[in-house]
Structure 1
Amino acid sequence: MGKMAWVDLTTRQIRVQEVPKEYTLKYLGSRGIAARILYDHVGPDISPFDPRNLLIFSVGPFTGTPWPCGARYTVTSKSPATGAYGYANSSGFFGPELKKAGYELVVITGKAREPVYLTIFDEQINILPARDLWGKATAETESILRQRYPGSRVASIGPAGENLVYFAAIINDYARAAARTGMGAVMGSKNLKALAVKGSQKLSFPPEFIAIAREAMARVREHPGSQAYRQWGTVALIASKNRIGDMPSKNHRWGQFPGCKNIDAEAVARYTVRTQGCFACPIKCSRVTSVPEGPFKTPETEGPEYETTNALGSNLWNDNIEVIIHANKLCNELGLDTISTGLVISFAMEAREKGLLQGDKYSLAWGDPETILGLIRDIAYREGIGELLAEGVKEASMKLGGLSREFALHVKGVEIPRQEGRVLKAFGLAHATSNRGADHLYALPVIDVAGKIDIAKEWLPKCGPELMEVTSEKFKAHMVRFTEACNALADALGICKFSFTETYALSPYDLAKGLRTLGIPIKDEEILLAGQRIVNLERMYNVRHGFNRKDDYLPPRFLKEPLDVYVHPEDIERVSPQEAELLYKGLTIDLDTMLDEYYTLGGWTKEGIPTPDRLKELGLEDLVKDLP
């Protein structure tokens, strides 16, 4: 078992303890254990920016090991966006370095009197002044600290985190982002600029684990899905998503983008300098891009990924790939979640179009590069309209009032990610029910859209053929229940979902087998229960904060505004639906029917609250007292 460090920035006291064995047995690691610590220490009386809130960095049992894609770490806290449960997840090399230093969790509380950063070098943890770093971009901060401490890995916030932007990210390895739910803002509220980590421990693993990991590595490397991502990166998804109507555009007015070819995988390839991967990664999906000259000249930067390309591209009716690359770099430097940033800008553009908002410095016109790049800066520094947008579309719509709530696209205060739920009904349900707010990775229900018939037959045998029809609501609750448990496992173990629930190169039983060889005695039939336990623990954290069915809902646009999907996307806004050839006509979501089934399958009430019996079945009987 690893160690857990508690760092109080107010008192400057640091204590180290062993991770309790019962935590590992119940919650496995990383996201699971962190959720339990948050539950036990941060109640409804503590606000997100209260010094008593915790900021928890955690890694899993597979992080930093030979297991394929064992590179991920989680940051958990009470979220300024949701007002309740929040976490973000990132990859690269920071997490494995924390593991090498001997820590599975670093729990930070309190607030420093002035800006500080942490150094974690094996047993030595120090709180050091960061006055010279405060105000600097993330890349410059990381460069300074890595020069100061050769061989270290760094996670830092930019001006957005310092200014408490509700969707501020934590950036490691220069461009890997723990982005969602505003963990960077919580870090900024504590006057904590960065963590620099360097471990000297030589990790050793049982021969049985190494053999299993080597076989798993080969399976992931050779999987067709891995090969596609290796060749093109995640932007490989763009062309196929645009064909079926899953390329959200113009703040989800459309599910397709006429300018798709200008921002697709081939377009990104023209600006790609090289490819690279994270620790222990056989896929290497990441692109390093640059814009060598012109008004959007950009030095080398990692990305853009699909979500970023959509959020800052088609979502804003922007087909200039150079603007997207530059905006991606700018978000990383300032420490912003690119998904939420794109959504708050599209909200502003639509508000201007409807006469609810006037631009102070920018036109707020769809696709305008000056507006896009200018608002990114203004949001990070809370200047001009950026002050309105810095707390997300939920808060901005409450201040604007009127019809703005109709197109404020969020769930629980977190902006909708880049799937069109009226087309992919499983994602619509998943966005609504995610415990950390609208999220594509909380459940990642791709079994239908990826054509994983073999996975459906093995793991969802009671479901009919409608399960594989993306626009059908039937059986989607079964899929989301299965995949949310799987993804809880991935985050708890510290692995990338591309090796698991994106491709299904590996199965839940493979994870259980690997855990057993590391000395964690979990049976195959218990592995999914562990994932369900984490989901229910997180749900109970929100329940304790007054969340119920009303919070598992989608914006009116998805429920009331029918979506047409064109056979020829280039005809959008050029040919009327009456004259165009349509693939789908008038799609909406019957969310309530799916919610009823989702709650029943999970052993929850019709209000979305776990029953006492369900909690007891999962070994969470101590939470029954917190039921309403």
Structure 2
Amino acid sequence: MAKTAWIDLTTGKIELQPTPEEDLLKFLGSRGLAAKVLYDHVGPAVQPFDPENLLIFSTGPLTGTSWPSAARYTVTAKSPATGAYGYANSSGFFGPELRKAGYDLIVFRGRAARPVILHIEDDHLELLPAGDLWGQTTEVTEKTLRERYPGSRVAAIGPAGENLVRIAGVINDYARAAARTGMGAVMGSKNLKALVVKGSHRVETPPEFKEVVRRVTAAVRNHPESQMYSQWGTVCLIDSKNMSGDMPSKNHRWGQFPLGKEINAAAVARYTVKTQGCYACPIRCSRITEVPDGPFKTPLNEGPEYETTNALGSNLWNGSIELVIYANKLCNELGLDTISTGLVIAFAMEAHERGLLDDPRYSLAWGDPETIIGLIKDIAYRRGTGDLLADGVKAASARLGRGSEFFAMEVKGVELPRQEGRVLKAFGLGHATSNRGADHLYALPTIDVAGMTDVAAKVLPECGPELMEVTSEKFKAHMVRFTEACNALADAAGVCKFAFTETYAILPADLAEGLRALGIPISDEEIMRIGQRIVNLERMYNVRHGFNRKDDYLPPRSLQEPLDVYVNPEEIEKIPPGKAQLSRRGLTINLDIMLDEYYALGGWTGDGIPTAARLKELGLEELVKDLPAADPF
């Protein structure tokens, strides 16, 4: 029987309940199911660090099965970064272990009087003191708990979460991060240090399901992009992105990095000891790296992947892959989101360059190792300039003022991921409209940039060839509407996007077939409606908090500062654009045109709010009462 555990950290009461079957059918699981629980229990009056905020760990119906890369779990809460909807997603082995223990949801409310952990072993749950672990890194915490409870898996916060740093994440399997939107800070606000889980029940599946799994696993494994990620990891993207202008650098001042070859896949390979994959993964994109000696000596550690390499490398004008590897491990141990950490440090460096910020201990110069390492630590412990940055770029800019909002690279309080929206227009639209703030994985509109013409013909037949031109705004709203629903399904089902929406080796109909084989009655048509339902539910959570079109923005730099793309990235800041050979000149993004089309395609008003008719169509009639009064019925 599917079940939900409700944990009241204030009273210590633990209650097990059946997960409502109706909610599972409507929202599938994990991200979708957690969004429904958050909507029902955490309203606008509750602040992110209030005891009344919920912290929800959730798995999907495929998590822990043999479906390719069925390893994902979600952490959901009202976000301290956005002030509204927030969630983070992670992989590894923690999620499958939680599912093997029998849980769809672990829901925390209240606040413990002293630090605690939750120990789960099947139906046995208990809150235990964690005073000896408070203040410890995630690595020490996990190592201690796995020795204490052999065979268990751990998800923990580090000092950043304890100190309510709003860019803090939850770390599992030592280096897997549910990083975005500040979920680690919400966990810290509840004095919850870690979850320790051991499950003894296999997720049983029928023969029909195993037949589908064999077919889709082969499709994923044999896809050329999967094989590329398997061989090189996601840093294989760096060389092509650097040539196209989609390699954000120096706080998005440039779309290319002169030292790209110093931090690319070949550079990471020199420090790679072995590769590994998450639970049930046929791709195995992860690198285990080691820096054996020198100032950035780093023991065996998972990563870095592309987003981290960009955020802590080119984004900071840092061309040392050894420093990137070291900084990545430091962020994991302290429990920091590497993307947001790189962006807030870049913000500080640019603010210093413009004469707006100084630090008595660090130069704040671009690429300076002491500044990078020092600020990572100071952010986690809220010291000096680190305290200014610990609440994220939007809050730091509001405190600093003096025009700094121009280069505050965030949306809804969440720092931009590592794509350049002036080049990849669909990603720009996806960053702006993501309900959890700037996010590459919310929409993940890769169909054009990956050249998936065959996929486009199947899933977006109404769009012409201009869909495949990455720098054209035409039809990008169609793509984002399709891909955001697919990615909601991936998160709700509990599967990795690299085995689904990164390549579309598996299509939504394949996912529906697999779920039907598990006994879940979902048609090919209904599967997409579930994805759309989740997106609209999340949007309505934000609408209830006063969000509308004004919150679907991009930073002023992205909208107002044209971007040049060099034929040779090594010439940047050496040869002026007027004298260098450019492949593209003066790229901008017309966000308003795409927003109008995006809203219309989704059945939303011109202000970005779902209509009553659209909510009813999706079976969300109960949310109509929360629409602004001006919405026509």
Structure 1 CA distance, aligned partners of 2:172 and 2:214?
27
Structure 2 CA distance, aligned partners of 1:436 and 1:148?
36
**Paired amino acid for 1:84:** A
Q: What is aligned with 1:126?
A: 126
Q: Secondary structure at the match of 1:57?
A: strand
Q: What is aligned with 2:214?
A: 214
Q: What is aligned with 1:519?
A: 519
Any idea what the Cα deviations from partners look like across 1:441-467, whole Å, max 9, x if unmatched?
Answer: 000000000000011111111111111
Q: CA deviation at 1:134?
A: 0.2
Q: What is aligned with 2:353?
A: 353
Alignment of 1:15-414 (within 5 A): 15-414=15-414
The normalised TM-score by structure 2 is 0.99
Q: What is aligned with 2:593?
A: 593
Q: CA deviation at 1:518?
A: 1.0
Any idea what the Cα deviations from partners look like across 1:286-311, whole Å, max 9, x if unmatched?
Answer: 00001000011001110001000000
Q: CA deviation at 1:525?
A: 1.2
Unaligned runs of 5+ in 2: 629-633
Q: Secondary structure at the match of 2:194?
A: strand
Any idea what the Cα deviations from partners look like across 1:309-356, whole Å, max 9, x if unmatched?
Answer: 000000000000000000000000000000000000000000000000
Q: Secondary structure at the match of 2:616?
A: helix
Any idea what the Cα deviations from partners look like across 1:134-175, whole Å, max 9, x if unmatched?
Answer: 000001000000000000000000000000000101000000
Any idea what the Cα deviations from partners look like across 1:246-267, whole Å, max 9, x if unmatched?
Answer: 0000000000000000000000
Structure 2 CA distance, aligned partners of 1:201 and 1:342?
40
Structure 2 CA distance, aligned partners of 1:403 and 1:235?
34
Does 2:562 match 1:566? no
Any idea what the Cα deviations from partners look like across 1:496-528, whole Å, max 9, x if unmatched?
Answer: 000111011100000000111111101111111
Structural RMSD (CA): 0.5
Structure 2 CA distance, aligned partners of 1:234 and 1:472?
25
Any idea what the Cα deviations from partners look like across 1:234-293, whole Å, max 9, x if unmatched?
Answer: 000000000100000000000000000000000000000100000000000000001000
Structure 2 CA distance, aligned partners of 1:566 and 1:201?
56
Structure 2 CA distance, aligned partners of 1:315 and 1:22?
45
**Paired amino acid for 2:450:** A
Q: What is aligned with 2:12?
A: 12
Any idea what the Cα deviations from partners look like across 1:51-89, whole Å, max 9, x if unmatched?
Answer: 010000000000000000000000000000000000000
Q: Secondary structure at the match of 1:506?
A: coil
Q: Secondary structure at the match of 1:75?
A: strand
Q: What is aligned with 1:510?
A: 510
Structure 2 CA distance, aligned partners of 1:207 and 1:514?
11
Q: Secondary structure at the match of 1:577?
A: coil
Structure 2 CA distance, aligned partners of 1:335 and 1:229?
26
Q: What is aligned with 1:576?
A: 576
Q: Secondary structure at the match of 2:403?
A: helix
Structure 1 CA distance, aligned partners of 2:175 and 2:473?
37
**Paired amino acid for 1:82:** T
Structure 2 CA distance, aligned partners of 1:225 and 1:569?
25
Any idea what the Cα deviations from partners look like across 1:18-45, whole Å, max 9, x if unmatched?
Answer: 1101011100010000000000000000
Identity percentage of aligned residues: 75
Q: Secondary structure at the match of 1:402?
A: coil
**Paired amino acid for 2:271:** Y
Structure 1 stretches of 4+ moved >6 Å: none
Structure 1 CA distance, aligned partners of 2:346 and 2:530?
39
Structure 2 CA distance, aligned partners of 1:487 and 1:202?
26
Q: Secondary structure at the match of 1:426?
A: helix
CA contact (8 A) 1:139 1:333 kept: yes
Q: What is aligned with 2:604?
A: 604
Q: What is aligned with 2:631?
A: none
Q: Secondary structure at the match of 1:406?
A: helix
Alignment of 1:454-469 (within 5 A): 454-469=454-469
Structure 1 CA distance, aligned partners of 2:414 and 2:515?
33
Structure 1 CA distance, aligned partners of 2:54 and 2:144?
27
Structure 2 CA distance, aligned partners of 1:327 and 1:449?
29
Q: Secondary structure at the match of 1:275?
A: strand
Q: Secondary structure at the match of 2:76?
A: strand
Structure 2 CA distance, aligned partners of 1:411 and 1:110?
29
Q: Secondary structure at the match of 2:573?
A: coil
Structure 2 CA distance, aligned partners of 1:419 and 1:2?
39
Structure 2 CA distance, aligned partners of 1:161 and 1:26?
33
Structure 2 CA distance, aligned partners of 1:219 and 1:476?
27
Alignment of 1:416-565 (within 5 A): 416-565=416-565
Structure 1 CA distance, aligned partners of 2:63 and 2:123?
19
Q: Secondary structure at the match of 2:45?
A: coil
Q: CA deviation at 1:203?
A: 2.5
Structure 1 CA distance, aligned partners of 2:593 and 2:205?
48
Q: Secondary structure at the match of 1:328?
A: helix
Q: CA deviation at 1:50?
A: 0.3
CA contact (8 A) 1:66 1:214 kept: no
CA contact (8 A) 1:360 1:385 kept: no
Structure 2 CA distance, aligned partners of 1:542 and 1:257?
36
CA contact (8 A) 1:4 1:106 kept: yes
**Paired amino acid for 1:338:** T
Structure 1 CA distance, aligned partners of 2:202 and 2:222?
29
Structure 2 CA distance, aligned partners of 1:465 and 1:359?
51
Unaligned runs of 5+ in 1: none
Structure 2 CA distance, aligned partners of 1:76 and 1:556?
29
Structure 1 CA distance, aligned partners of 2:585 and 2:527?
41
**Paired amino acid for 1:561:** E
**Paired amino acid for 2:626:** D
Q: CA deviation at 1:359?
A: 1.5
Q: CA deviation at 1:221?
A: 1.0
Any idea what the Cα deviations from partners look like across 1:100-151, whole Å, max 9, x if unmatched?
Answer: 1011110011100000000010111000000000000001000000000000
Q: CA deviation at 1:360?
A: 2.1
